[in-house]
Amino acid sequence: MGDDLSPQPPPLRREGELFAANSELRTQNSELTAGEGVGISTANSELRTQNSELQPPQGTLLIVGGSERLDKQLAILRTWVELCDRVPGRREQVIITAATGHPAALGGEYVRVLRQLGWPADLIHLPLLATREEAQDSRTAELIARAAGIWMTGGDQVALVDTLRDTPAGHALLAAYAAGAVVGGTSAGATALGDPMIARGGGSGELRRGEVALHPGFGLAGSGLIIDTHFGRRGRFPRLAAAVVEHPPAVGIGLDENTALLVPPHGPAHILGQGVVYILAAPPGADPAAAFAPPLTLYLLRAGQTWVVPRAK
| Banded pLDDT at 204 (limits 50, 70, 90) | low
Domain 26-44+55-307 has CATH 1.10.3720.10: no
Q: What is the pTM of this model?
A: 0.82
Q: What percent of the chain has pLDDT over 70?
A: 78
pLDDT at 206: 66
Residue 143 neighbours by CB under 8 Å, 6+ apart: 92, 94, 125, 127, 172
pLDDT at 56: 83
pLDDT at 249: 85
Q: Could you state, in order of their start, the residue ranges of all structural domains in the chain?
A: 26-44+55-307
Residue 136 neighbours by CB under 8 Å, 6+ apart: 167, 168, 169
Radius of gyration of the chain (CA): 19
Cis peptide before 120 (omega within 30 of 0): no
Mean pLDDT, the chain, integer: 83
| Banded pLDDT at 286 (limits 50, 70, 90) | confident
Higher pLDDT, residue 189 or 292: 189
Amino acid in position 303:
A
pLDDT at 215: 96
Indicate whether 229 pLDDT > 90: yes
pLDDT at 209: 63
pLDDT at 34: 32
Higher pLDDT, residue 284 or 89: 89
How much is the average pLDDT of 211-237? Answer: 94
How much is the average pLDDT of 249-267? Answer: 96
Find out whether 270 and 262 touch, Cβ atoms under 8 Å: yes
Question: What's the CA gap between 76 and 68, in Å, rounded?
Answer: 6
Amino acid in position 243:
A
pLDDT digits (tens, 9 = 90+) for 108-166: 999 999 999 999 999 999 999 999 999 999 999 999 999 999 999 999 999 999 999 99
The arrangement of strands across the sheet holding 197-201 comes to 40-41, 212-215, 197-201
Select, from the ranges 21-25, 205-209, 241-245, the one with the highest average predicted confidence (pLDDT).
Answer: 241-245
| Banded pLDDT at 208 (limits 50, 70, 90) | low
pLDDT digits (tens, 9 = 90+) for 37-50: 333 323 333 333 34
Question: What's the CA gap between 78 and 83, in Å, rounded?
Answer: 9
Indicate whether 7 pLDDT > 70: no
